[in-house]
Amino acid sequence: MSDYGPSLTALKLYKRTSQKGTTYFTGRMGMLKVALLKSSETTDDGCEIWNLVFQQAEEKPRQDSKPSREARAMANEPLPERRSSRPAPNDPIPF
């Protein structure tokens, strides 16, 4: 692969096997579900043909290790004070 210059991985595909024993590959690319499916067709010289199929994926809930901006903001907010207007009985410090 070094003959082709620098490259980057756009997505990872995972090898799967169907209940019927057919091999296929699946993955995600942003908001797309990706599948690489073997066609029943072949080229004139007998090579396999694979079809790359895209489908809109449902948005997954985020499961980041970092809390969301809202959660961080809430964590930094002071808790509301719960003071009673009357001092506690036998409290040596009356405030």
Count of domains in the chain? 1
Average pLDDT over residues 16-37: 94
Is a pLDDT exceeding 60 seen at residue 18? yes
DSSP 39: E
Average pLDDT over residues 77-85: 60
Please give the residue that has the higher pLDDT: either 26 or 75. Answer: 26
Range of the domain at 25: 10-57
- pLDDT single digits (tens) 51-72: 999 999 887 666 656 666 666 6
Whole-number Å distance between alpha carbons of 71 and 90? 39
Query: pTM (2 decimals)?
Result: 0.56
Residue 48 lies in a domain: yes
Residue 89 lies in a domain: no
The radius of gyration of the chain's CA atoms, rounded to the nearest angstrom, is 29
Residue 75 lies in a domain: no
Residue 69 lies in a domain: no
Whole-number Å distance between alpha carbons of 3 and 21? 36
